Amino acid sequence: MSLSYEDVLKEFAHHVGLDSEALLRTEEVLIDGFPIGLQLEGSPVSGDVLFFTTLGTPTSEHLDRIARTLLEANNFWVGTGGCTIGLQQETKAVTLCGRIAIDAALTGESLAALLSGFVDTAAFWKAFVEGTPADGGAAPLMPPHMGLRA
């Protein structure tokens, strides 16, 4: 039997030493400097947990080059660990998001492990967005993380 969204967040908070009521109220956690938003999509017992963060805003001078690399990384999620990279329409901020089904395999501990990998992916792409390689070369692509689904 699967836990509800609220129960998963409570277990996660307990596992990582956070106040569960505060996490339920804010639906945001700070991991290695990344504010990670959490959100329920669909049913609390059979929907999805969405997780997302902002990676930075490229300068207009480098936006085309960065956007091309991000699109290539998004293709079948080869460079995103199974997540999706996006560009906010108004701000042009680069975002990384993922989702996982609320099912019997999702626990507070498994969510902690998943978010740890998510932050690793976020750190890689944040460095790329902020670093803006002068040669315009693409970042090396990473194999997909099979714990996520699109």
**pLDDT values of the chain reduced to their tens digit, one per residue, 150 residues:** 899 999 999 999 999 999 999 999 999 999 999 999 999 999 999 999 999 999 999 999 999 999 999 999 999 998 999 999 999 999 999 999 999 999 999 999 999 999 999 999 999 999 999 985 545 455 554 444 444 444
Q: In this structure, are residues 114 and 147 in contact, taking their beta carbons and an 8 Å threshold?
A: yes
Domain spans, the chain: 5-131
pLDDT at 1: 81
pLDDT at 149: 46
For the beta carbon of residue 138, count every other beta carbon within 10 angstroms.
15
What does the alpha-carbon distance between residue 136 and residue 4 come to, in Å, rounded to a whole number?
A: 45
Sign of CA dihedral 76, 78, 80, 83: positive
pLDDT at 140: 53
Sign of CA dihedral 97, 102, 106, 111: positive
Q: In this structure, are residues 109 and 44 in contact, taking their beta carbons and an 8 Å threshold?
A: no
Supply the DSSP symbol for 42.
S
What does the alpha-carbon distance between residue 116 and residue 138 come to, in Å, rounded to a whole number?
A: 24
- Per the DSSP assignment, residues forming a β-bridge with 50 are 39, 99
Q: Tell me the pTM.
A: 0.86
3-state secondary structure of 143: coil
Within its chain, how far is the Cα of 31 from the centroid?
Answer: 11
Pick the CATH number of 5-131 from 3.60.15.10, 3.30.1460.10, 3.30.360.10, 1.20.1060.10: 3.30.1460.10
Helices 5-16, 108-131: inter-axial angle, 10-degree rounding: 80
